[in-house]
């Protein structure tokens, strides 16, 4: 708990606000939906309801300060130096924070009168999508702020604009009602800003509900399409946007709204966003939110990164590389030429282990210059951000030296060219100016190296020598007064002073040299004319030194920002090299192969493996992953090939590996189209333009949807949107309702996929009746997950091959789960009766004896005695037997079995 009890002037008149409180109330009125961090000295204070909310969210002490309208004023506060830690907790909790700073020198306020209040104003509105501080951001994850614009009513044109303020990325994507949810899921914004006119849109309610506190409604004027082009031109200082590309009106409205929202939250600080890049809809694989969740692409169960595909494949050694890999995984490509470029870079890296290790070593611990640049542009940067830029330049030269003179693929060649982008003058300037030890904040000073500036060195010498004089003065005062406990100390209120225990205070006063300043509970404080003079000299020297350092900081910051474009290209090169080397490392260590990716409808995987499950098995030291083949390529049709891909109907027991098999093939398609190698012996993937996966059961209680309703909504989306280039992965459709209803729905869904969607699909089911469809649907084949039974036990082989499962082995799985034996026995009895009735045309549940009667008639459960043949076999010692003994034993065992 933080003790924030500090001395603050109480209200002079109960019920009447002090000038300071009146100022607070005026500023707070402008930001009613944000917590106001009100700067008072070394603390940010919060009052009234803000204080109550903050104390609850942060676990800090709630105290009070005077009265307002006859009631105590709740108060809480956090130290300025550690405010980032508290901001992180508040932003994670969904709060917005208005940071109110002193914008006037206190000395100026005093000139207006003794009771004048230092002017304060909000300098920044901290929201989830506008963070830039290193302590508030995950280095491996982009922090997207997004806006959604629509022109022309509920069915009008739509567009999404999104940026990462911490890196400068800025993109605009057209969208529509059918793909909106998928596009938002791909962007994965920390904050989505939409016009308040959409608040009551029923079609968007599921999206808004899913976003929760990440959703922000703003006035519709922010999204005005008529002035959008003018606002964007003004921000970039250009006369026309023609040089940026062709943007529709709704796209410019989304982009201008994003720029406007940044203006509302960043105030005078102007972010340096890159020119907007248009995201072409057909360039990327479309993956809806349900599929992303089902495949656990970036987040596993519970929203954690651990256990996801991204977590498994991320071998990057820099934050820039991890963010780029996550972006590629969010937007798999559909352009085969671009995919091949990325594959070439990975393949080249796999061919030279020594070079790859050297590159990764050079990239390890690389400073995050993208985010350093953003902080410097917003004037929130410090000396360490300048140091990051300087170090990045050194790393760029090291990497260029490793690659120089080699024949490299196009992707690596472009990165190599960008490594030389920053001007050498900037590197020389930073290297000659910055010191070895860099503080976090510029106001601390000490970041300019010795010898960089003669005037600064002179001021430092005066300051440091004066401090040595203080030590000599303390020794002399001790000798003159005989008070060995005498100390010369300093604070921001009194400046320099002499402090002695209270018992020796009278003896110092008697000398006539020491003037009394302050009495504490156990000490007295004094000053002398000599000490006051020395203090003035020290203060002047320190002030001159800090002023000169801040001037040099401004000069270095300006030089860095002047080279921002070149530095961003260098940062992008770091990320591309890191991703290529990381994926190559993954391919070599995991025995992954380069897939063939083309514009056909092929989908052939030989020896495919689930990357996440395989990695978990390796970590656990268990059995190796059982690889399986999958072929959804268009089947042969006489001499000619069929025009569309195949469908596999997969049957088999629970826990046999059906869901793993379904997911692994979808993941292999995603990996192939981000330009990575894949966990398979061989793979040929015809580009997948849309990926749908419906594996696993879930509900949506917030929207009043049952598990079956969610299943049907997601299935409807698939059947309404899938095309011939789509890959569909469906598991257990129809199992959430009555048997015949579910079977009918599953039956009709498969027919629709075959006849209407004509897509490549994997369809797993326990409805064994559906296997008869293979006789009627030419592109449908039956496949099964194989099992074996041995001594009453079921052994899951996790092998997929042609055929049909004879049963689901549900009771065996229930036994493995630990169901009571009496329940299992009863289940076997019911299953036997139902199967018998199915064969004979009779026998319904009404014909079965009551459970209670069956249980009463059952003998007491006792330990089962093993069969005599098994007991005799256990007594055999094969190593001590002659051939004749073995033959006689075999006959004896046969006799026991016969008995």
Give the CA angle between residues 187, 188, 191 to the nearest 5°.
105
Residue 498 shares a structural domain with residue 609: no
The pLDDT, as a whole number, for residue 703 is: 55
Mean pLDDT of 387-392: 93
Domain-terminating residue out of 102, 126, 150: 126
Query: Number of C-alpha atoms within 13 angstroms, CB side, residue 820?
Result: 5
User: Is residue 294 assigned to a domain?
Assistant: no
Number of domains in the chain: 7
Q: How far apart are the first and last CA of the chain?
A: 78
98 vs 852, which has greater pLDDT? Answer: 98
C-alpha to C-alpha distances, 211 to 129, 192, 207, 262, nearest whole angstrom: 13, 8, 6, 20
Mean pLDDT of 203-224: 91
CA torsion sign, 839 to 845 to 849 to 851? positive
Q: Which residues pair with 35 in a beta bridge?
A: 97
Own/partner contacts of 68-73, CB < 8 Å, gap of 24 or more, are: 68/11, 68/15, 68/17, 68/21, 69/15, 70/14, 70/15, 73/21, 73/47, 73/48
Separation of CA 371 from chain center: 16
Give the residue numbers of the binding site for ATP. 652-659
C-alpha to C-alpha distances, 305 to 211, 326, 747, nearest whole angstrom: 18, 11, 37
Number of neighbouring beta carbons within 10 Å of residue 3: 8
Residue 669 shares a structural domain with residue 764: yes
Residue 184 shares a structural domain with residue 239: yes
CATH code of residue 471 = 1.10.1420.10
C-alpha to C-alpha distances, 702 to 180, 181, 184, 706, nearest whole angstrom: 21, 17, 20, 10
Mean pLDDT of 100-123: 83
Tell me the C-alpha distance between 572 and 560, whole Å: 16
User: Is residue 863 assigned to a domain?
Assistant: no
Residue 484's Cβ-count burial label (10 Å; 0-12, 13-18, 19+) is: exposed
Domain region containing 32: 19-126
pLDDT band at 12 (very low <50, low <70, confident <90, very high): very low
pLDDT in tens, 569-598: 999 999 999 999 999 999 999 999 999 999
Tell me the C-alpha distance between 593 and 47, whole Å: 61
User: Is residue 437 assigned to a domain?
Assistant: no
Tell me the C-alpha distance between 116 and 106, whole Å: 9
Mean pLDDT of 819-828: 78
In the chain, what percentage of residues exceed pLDDT 90?
56
Q: Which has the closest alpha carbon to 168: 274, 322, 258? A: 274
The pLDDT, as a whole number, for residue 782 is: 94
Residue 162 shares a structural domain with residue 230: yes
CATH code of residue 42 = 3.40.1170.10
Residue 682 shares a structural domain with residue 543: no
Residue 69 shares a structural domain with residue 46: yes
pLDDT in tens, 593-602: 999 999 999 9
Domain-terminating residue out of 239, 267, 283: 283
Q: Which has the closest alpha carbon to 346: 96, 671, 19? A: 671
pLDDT band at 786 (very low <50, low <70, confident <90, very high): confident
Contact 87, 112 (CB under 8 A): no
pLDDT band at 425 (very low <50, low <70, confident <90, very high): confident
Tell me the C-alpha distance between 2 and 793, whole Å: 61
710 vs 224, which has greater pLDDT? Answer: 224
The pLDDT, as a whole number, for residue 781 is: 93
Number of neighbouring beta carbons within 10 Å of residue 553: 22
- The answer to whether the predicted template modeling score (pTM) of the entire model surpasses 0.85 is no
Q: Which residues pair with 287 in a beta bridge?
A: 691
Mean pLDDT of 884-895: 73
171 vs 695, which has greater pLDDT? Answer: 171
pLDDT band at 4 (very low <50, low <70, confident <90, very high): very low
Phi, psi (rounded to 5 degrees) for 518 = -160, 145
pLDDT in tens, 709-765: 888 888 888 999 999 999 999 988 877 776 778 888 888 999 999 999 999 999 998
The pLDDT, as a whole number, for residue 630 is: 97
Tell me the C-alpha distance between 253 and 247, whole Å: 10
Residue 539 shares a structural domain with residue 625: no
Number of neighbouring beta carbons within 10 Å of residue 724: 15
Q: What is the mean pLDDT of the chain?
A: 86
Helices 228-236 and 249-266: angle between axes, nearest 10 degrees: 50
Tell me the C-alpha distance between 503 and 722, whole Å: 89
pLDDT in tens, 273-318: 999 999 998 999 999 998 999 999 999 877 888 999 999 999 999 9
Confidence check: pLDDT of 1 > 60: no
The pLDDT, as a whole number, for residue 533 is: 86
Q: Are strands 760-764 and 647-651 parallel, antiparallel or unpaired?
A: parallel
User: Is residue 3 assigned to a domain?
Assistant: no
Helices 564-590 and 410-419: angle between axes, nearest 10 degrees: 140
Q: Which residues pair with 121 in a beta bridge?
A: 101
152 vs 387, which has greater pLDDT? Answer: 387
User: Is residue 305 assigned to a domain?
Assistant: no
The pLDDT, as a whole number, for residue 182 is: 93
Tell me the C-alpha distance between 343 and 594, whole Å: 7
Kindly list the strands in the beta sheet with 169-175, ordered across the sheet, starting from the edge strand earlier in the chain.
215-218, 191-195, 145-151, 157-164, 169-175, 277-278
Confidence check: pLDDT of 638 > 50: no
The pLDDT, as a whole number, for residue 852 is: 44
Q: Of the given ranges (137-141, 858-862, 882-886), which has the lowest mean pLDDT?
A: 858-862
872 vs 219, which has greater pLDDT? Answer: 219
pLDDT band at 11 (very low <50, low <70, confident <90, very high): very low
pLDDT in tens, 96-109: 999 999 888 777 77
User: Is residue 159 assigned to a domain?
Assistant: yes
CATH code of residue 736 = 3.40.50.300
User: Is residue 43 assigned to a domain?
Assistant: yes
Residue 755 shares a structural domain with residue 803: yes
Tell me the C-alpha distance between 601 and 438, whole Å: 57
The pLDDT, as a whole number, for residue 855 is: 45
Mean pLDDT of 799-817: 76
Residue 120 shares a structural domain with residue 172: no
pLDDT band at 637 (very low <50, low <70, confident <90, very high): low
Separation of CA 691 from chain center: 22
Residue 685 shares a structural domain with residue 798: yes
Residue 397 shares a structural domain with residue 523: no
Q: What is the DSSP letter of 599?
A: S
636 vs 465, which has greater pLDDT? Answer: 465
Own/partner contacts of 9-17, CB < 8 Å, gap of 24 or more, are: 10/65, 10/66, 11/66, 11/67, 11/68, 14/67, 14/70, 15/67, 15/68, 15/69, 15/70, 17/68
Phi, psi (rounded to 5 degrees) for 42 = -95, 10
The pLDDT, as a whole number, for residue 9 is: 41
Mean pLDDT of 80-97: 89
Contact 44, 80 (CB under 8 A): yes
The pLDDT, as a whole number, for residue 704 is: 52
Confidence check: pLDDT of 410 > 90: yes
- Cβ contacts of residue 746 below 8 Å, gap of 6+? 733, 734, 763, 765, 767, 770
Tell me the C-alpha distance between 310 and 326, whole Å: 7
Contact 283, 173 (CB under 8 A): no
The pLDDT, as a whole number, for residue 663 is: 95
The pLDDT, as a whole number, for residue 67 is: 74
Residue 180 shares a structural domain with residue 218: yes
Q: What is the DSSP letter of 139?
A: T
Confidence check: pLDDT of 63 > 50: yes
Give the residue numbers of the binding site. 652-659
Tell me the C-alpha distance between 110 and 141, whole Å: 47
pLDDT band at 857 (very low <50, low <70, confident <90, very high): very low
Kindly list the strands in the beta sheet with 487-491, ordered across the sheet, starting from the edge strand earlier in the chain.
487-491, 495-501, 523-527, 515-519
Number of neighbouring beta carbons within 10 Å of residue 15: 11
The pLDDT, as a whole number, for residue 833 is: 72
In the chain, what percentage of residues exceed pLDDT 70?
89
Strands (E), 331-414: none
Mean pLDDT of 542-559: 92
User: Is residue 539 assigned to a domain?
Assistant: yes
pLDDT band at 845 (very low <50, low <70, confident <90, very high): very low
Number of neighbouring beta carbons within 10 Å of residue 116: 14
CATH code of residue 223 = 3.30.420.110
Residue 452's Cβ-count burial label (10 Å; 0-12, 13-18, 19+) is: middle
Q: Which has the closest alpha carbon to 871: 896, 852, 837? A: 896
Q: Which residues pair with 596 in a beta bridge?
A: 684
Helices 424-433 and 383-403: angle between axes, nearest 10 degrees: 130
Number of neighbouring beta carbons within 10 Å of residue 786: 17
The pLDDT, as a whole number, for residue 21 is: 86
């Amino acid at each position: 708990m933080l003790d924030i009890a500090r001395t603050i002037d109480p209200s002079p008149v109960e019920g009447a606000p002090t000038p300071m409180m009146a100022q607070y109330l005026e500023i707070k009125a402008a930001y009613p939906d944000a917590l106001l961090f009100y700067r008072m000295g070394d603390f940010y204070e919060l009052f009234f309801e803000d204080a109550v909310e903050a104390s609850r969210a942060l676990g800090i002490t709630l105290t009070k300060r005077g009265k307002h309208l006859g009631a105590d004023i709740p108060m809480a506060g956090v130290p300025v130096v550690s405010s980032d830690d508290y901001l992180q907790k508040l932003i994670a909790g969904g709060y917005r924070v208005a940071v109110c700073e002193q914008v006037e020198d206190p000395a100026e306020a005093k000139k207006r009168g003794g009771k004048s209040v230092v002017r304060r104003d909000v300098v920044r509105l901290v929201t989830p999508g506008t963070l830039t501080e290193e302590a508030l951001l995950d280095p491996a994850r982009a922090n997207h702020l997004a806006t959604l614009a629509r022109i022309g009513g509920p069915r009008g044109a739509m567009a999404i604009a999104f940026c990462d303020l911490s890196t400068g990325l800025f993109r605009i994507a057209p969208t529509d009602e059918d793909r909106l949810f998928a596009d938002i899921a791909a962007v994965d914004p920390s904050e989505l800003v939409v016009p308040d006119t959409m608040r009551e849109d029923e079609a968007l309610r599921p999206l808004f509900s899913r976003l929760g506190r990440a959703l922000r409604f703003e006035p519709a004027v922010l999204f005005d399409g008529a002035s959008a082009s003018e606002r964007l031109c003004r921000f970039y200082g250009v006369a026309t946007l023609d040089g940026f590309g062709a943007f529709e009106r709704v796209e410019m409205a989304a982009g201008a709204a994003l720029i406007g929202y940044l203006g509302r939250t960043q105030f005078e600080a102007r972010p340096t966003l890159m020119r907007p890049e248009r995201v072409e809809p057909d360039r990327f694989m479309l993956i809806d939110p349900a599929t992303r969740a089902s495949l656990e692409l970036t987040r596993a169960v519970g929203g954690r990164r651990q256990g996801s595909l991204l977590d498994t494949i991320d071998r990057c050694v820099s934050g820039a590389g991890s963010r780029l890999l996550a972006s590629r995984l969010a937007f798999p490509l559909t352009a085969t030429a671009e995919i091949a470029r990325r594959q070439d870079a990975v393949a080249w890296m796999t061919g030279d282990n020594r070079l790859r290790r050297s590159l990764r070593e050079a990239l390890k611990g690389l400073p995050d210059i993208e985010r350093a640049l953003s902080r410097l542009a917003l004037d929130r940067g410090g000396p360490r951000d300048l140091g990051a830029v300087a170090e990045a330049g050194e790393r760029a030269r090291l990497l260029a030296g490793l690659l120089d003179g080699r024949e490299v693929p196009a992707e690596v060649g472009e990165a190599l060219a960008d490594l030389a982008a920053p001007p050498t003058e900037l590197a020389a300037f930073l290297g000659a100016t910055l010191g070895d030890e860099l503080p976090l904040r510029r106001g601390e000073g000490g970041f300019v190296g010795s010898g960089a500036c003669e005037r600064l060195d002179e001021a430092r010498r005066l300051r440091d020598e004066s401090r040595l004089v203080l030590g000599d003065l303390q020794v002399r005062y001790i000798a003159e007064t005989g008070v060995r406990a005498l100390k010369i100390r300093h604070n921001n209120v009194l400046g320099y002073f002499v402090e002695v225990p209270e018992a020796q205070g009278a003896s110092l006063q008697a000398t006539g040299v020491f003037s009394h300043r302050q009495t504490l509970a156990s000490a007295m404080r004094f000053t002398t004319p000599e000490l006051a003079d020395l203090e003035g000299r020290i203060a002047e020297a320190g002030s001159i030194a800090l002023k000169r350092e801040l001037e040099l900081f401004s000069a270095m910051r300006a030089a860095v920002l002047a080279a921002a474009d070149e530095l961003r290209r260098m940062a992008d090169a770091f990320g591309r090299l890191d991703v290529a080397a990381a994926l190559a490392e993954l391919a070599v260590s995991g025995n992954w192969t380069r897939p063939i990716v083309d514009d056909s409808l092929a989908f052939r995987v030989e020896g495919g493996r689930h990357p996440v499950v395989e990695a978990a098995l390796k970590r656990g030291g268990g059995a190796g992953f059982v690889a399986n083949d999958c072929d959804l390529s268009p089947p042969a049709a006489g001499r000619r090939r069929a025009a569309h891909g195949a469908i596999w109907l997969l049957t088999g027991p629970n826990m046999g590996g059906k869901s793993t098999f379904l997911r692994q093939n979808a993941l292999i398609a995603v990996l192939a189209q981000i330009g990575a190698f894949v966990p398979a012996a061989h793979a040929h993937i015809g580009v997948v333009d849309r990926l749908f996966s419906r594996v696993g059961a879930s509900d949506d209680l917030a929207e009043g949807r049952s598990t079956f309703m969610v299943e049907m909504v997601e299935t409807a989306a698939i059947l309404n949107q899938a095309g011939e280039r789509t890959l569909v992965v469906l598991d257990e459709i129809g199992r959430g309702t009555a048997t015949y209803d579910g079977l009918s729905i599953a039956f009709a869904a498969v027919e629709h996929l075959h006849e209407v969607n004509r897509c490549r699909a994997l369809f797993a089911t326990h409805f064994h009746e559906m296997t008869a469809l293979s006789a009627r649907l030419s592109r449908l084949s039956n496949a099964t997950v194989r099992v074996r039974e041995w001594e009453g036990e079921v052994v899951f082989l996790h092998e997929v091959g042609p055929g049909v499962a004879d049963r689901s082995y549900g009771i065996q799985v229930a036994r493995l789960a630990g169901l009571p034996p009496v329940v299992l026995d009863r289940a076997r009895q019911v299953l036997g009766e139902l199967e018998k009735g199915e064969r004979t045309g009779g026998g319904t549940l009404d014909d079965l004896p009551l459970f209670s009667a069956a249980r009463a008639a059952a003998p007491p459960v006792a330990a089962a005695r093993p069969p005599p043949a098994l007991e005799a076999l256990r007594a055999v010692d094969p190593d001590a037997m002659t051939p004749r003994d073995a033959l006689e034993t075999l006959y004896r065992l046969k006799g026991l079995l016969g008995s």
